[in-house]
Amino acid sequence: RWLFDRAVCTIYAFCGVLFGLCSLSSLAVLSTVCCLKVCYPAYGRCWALLCAWAPLCSLIPSSSSYRPEQPLLAELCPWVPIPDYGPEPYGTACCITWKAASRQAVLYILALFVFCYLLPCLLILVSYALILWRVKGSRRAVRQH
């Protein structure tokens, strides 16, 4: 079971979501920078901006967690879907409460899936596909010479 109080559970879950999202967004940024360097060398100098994008993309979804003692975010931004962090089903760790039944929680989970998982994965696949396509075209050009 979870041995600590609710505040530690929230911090633990926040860190897990933040670092997990930051890892995937960093991989997406790295693949984009590689694609720009290989396929579009004129635009390959914007890597600093892209590197700043990864933590920002991770911080926004992970910090929009609802804290019962601080409902200010929920009052200021009622359109922002806000989940709750809590113990996992087995109770040994904490994470987002995936089985939340509210409309806001479902919207948050769908937005998290689409914008923080699906789009970075598609960006990675497209970036590496473009790199492979460029390398294949370069190989053909070298053979013709």
Q: What is the pLDDT of residues 64-123, one digit of tens each?
A: 554 444 444 444 455 555 567 888 888 788 888 777 677 777 777 888 888 889 999 999
Half-sphere exposure in the Cβ direction for 100 (13 Å, CA): 22
Q: What is the percent of the chain where pLDDT is above 90?
A: 14
- Residue 52: burial class (beta carbons within 10 Å; 0-12, 13-18, 19+): exposed
Q: Which residues does residue 94 pair with via DSSP β-bridges, in sequence order?
A: 87
> For the whole model, what pTM was predicted?
0.73
Residue 4 pLDDT > 80: yes
- Residue 98: burial class (beta carbons within 10 Å; 0-12, 13-18, 19+): exposed
